[in-house]
Structure 1
Amino acid sequence: MLKRLQIDQCQGLKILPEGLGSLSSLEELEIQNCSNLLSLPEGIRCLTALKILRISKISDQKMLPEGLGSLSSLEELQIGDCSNLSSLPEGIQRLTALKTLEISECPSLKTLPEGLGSLSSLEELRIGDCSNLSSLPEGIRRLTALKTLEISECPSLKTLPEGLGSLSSLEELRIGDCSNLSFLPEGIRSLTALKMLKISECPSLKTLPKGLGSLSWIRKLEIWHCSNLSSLPKRIQHLASLGVLEISDCPNLS
């Protein structure tokens, strides 16, 4: 009984058989380097044993099937280097077993579905190199199991949702190379489980929220290459658990 299927470097492949959904024991599916593949079959909804789905380097893929939300056992979803992917299906909100979601190198992606906040088991969310992503959904506040959040290389992102402060289990927050991100939400003060915060290459960031000084459990704080950052919050001196503080290449910091 087939448990793992990898399809790689099949440049002439345009469609996958609808019968793919009949692989009832399949636990891992990886499709990559199939640049002419137009879509995934709707039959994918029947892969109820699937735990890992990785899709990468499929440049003609414009959307993912709505049936993706029926993958009730899915724990890891990686989507990368899909240059024409313009949206994620709203059905993604039904992936209640999902623990890891990674989205990278999808320049046509402008928004993420509001239903993202319904991923009640999500522990890791990584978003990188999505050049036209302009916002994160407010529903992100409902990701109360989230432990790691990474956002990088998203130059169209100007703000982060205030609801970020509701991520009560968040332990690691990394924000990097978001050239137009101008401020962090004050709600960050409520991230009581946060142990590590890294901010790098955010030249539009001039100040950090005062609430940063309320992160009593933070152990590591890194601030790199923020050329216009002019001050740190005064209460930062009260971070009693802080073991590592690294500040580098912030020339306007006084």
Structure 2
Amino acid sequence: MATELKVLNLNECKFLKRTPDLSTFKRLEILHLVLCYNLEELHPSIEKLASLIELDLTDCVSITKLPESIWNLRNMRVLDISGTHITELPDAIGMLAKLQKLRAWVCKLEGVSSNICKLTSLEELYVGYCEKLQELPELPSGLTYLSSGLTYLPSSLTYLVIAWQGQSLPHLSQLTHLKYLCLSHCHRLECVPELPIGLSELAIARCGKLKALTNLSDLKHLREFSIFESPSLEGSPDVSNFRRTQMIELGLKESRGFMGSLIFERSPRWFPWPED
């Protein structure tokens, strides 16, 4: 029976320090090891899982490095190392040619190999709230969803979540395909520059020093807009050029929410706010 198993869930195995020999599971496609706090090592036999398409190591805080054998999993589509203590994505990351989603939220990443640009199938990259990660290399041109600090931004992006500790942002107006933008926990950010006019959803959360927005009234396609816990924002954003129908759709009635926040619309459905 083990040879036919396709999904193996070992979540919350709190006393597991090393995964067992997995070579028997020839057809395994999904392996979840979420919240295995004491897990330190993946058994080398993981390289035998030729059919594996998803590996989830979320909050395995004792893992500091991925084994070399993992880079032989050429059918991998989803890799999640969020909340781990992994510090580096090495050159071998470029071997996962079919990888579509790479999640590394709130982990100890300090560096990402330039070989990530070889992941031509990569669509979504989550490296937000990695405090030690100062920069990213050039990213695959087909990327459509990015959550990170600022770096090279592919023009193909449609979703962008920025967690940035600088005082300013570069112009984003060249991202002509961008539809959804969230600025979250940008604690030193003082001004938002010119934005892509095709935006349909904009959210700003916990940007404590933010004082000004720019071309908000030029965003003729904006449908959802929220400002949350950004108390330094001076006055209401300029919406003088919005069409009447757009004002109704946005529900632009200024209200003072928690901690004096300006709230014009609910938080976007596409972005789950992280806790402080």
**Shorter-chain TM-score category?**
0.7 to 0.9
- Give the CA RMSD over aligned residues: 2.4
Match of 1:64 in 2: 66
How many angstroms apart in 1 are the aligned matches of 2:233 and 2:34?
44
Larger strand proportion of the pair: 1
**Would you say how many aligned residue pairs link Structure 1 and Structure 2?**
231
How many angstroms apart in 2 are the aligned matches of 1:124 and 1:79?
14
Deviations 1:12-69 (A, max 9, x none): 433334x424522110011234333321123322322111111133332220012222
Match of 1:170 in 2: 157
Larger helix proportion of the pair: 1
How many angstroms apart in 1 are the aligned matches of 2:30 and 2:233?
49
Does residue 123 of structure 1 match 2:123? yes
1:225/1:104 CA distance change after superposition, 3 Å? closer
Deviations 1:144-167 (A, max 9, x none): 22222224xxxxx6xx11x21xx2
Does residue 231 of structure 1 match 2:228? no
Quick one: percent identity of the two aligned structures?
30
Measure how far apart 1:80 and its partner are: 2.8
Any conservation in 2 of the 1:228–1:251 contact (CA below 8 Å)?
yes
How many angstroms apart in 1 are the aligned matches of 2:99 and 2:81?
14
Q: Which has the larger radius of gyration?
A: 2
How many angstroms apart in 1 are the aligned matches of 2:12 and 2:222?
47
**Aligned runs of 1:59-98 on 2, under 5 Å?**
59-82=61-84, 84-98=85-99
How many angstroms apart in 2 are the aligned matches of 1:24 and 1:41?
15
TM-score with structure 1 setting the length: 0.79
How many angstroms apart in 2 are the aligned matches of 1:201 and 1:37?
30
TM-score with structure 2 setting the length: 0.73
Measure how far apart 1:129 and its partner are: 4.0
Question: Higher RCO, 1 or 2 (CA under 8 Å, sep at least 6)?
Answer: 1
User: Which of 147, 151, 171 lines up with 1:150 in the alignment?
Assistant: 147
Any conservation in 1 of the 2:128–2:162 contact (CA below 8 Å)?
no
Structure 1 unaligned regions, length at least 5: 152-156
How many angstroms apart in 1 are the aligned matches of 2:106 and 2:226?
29
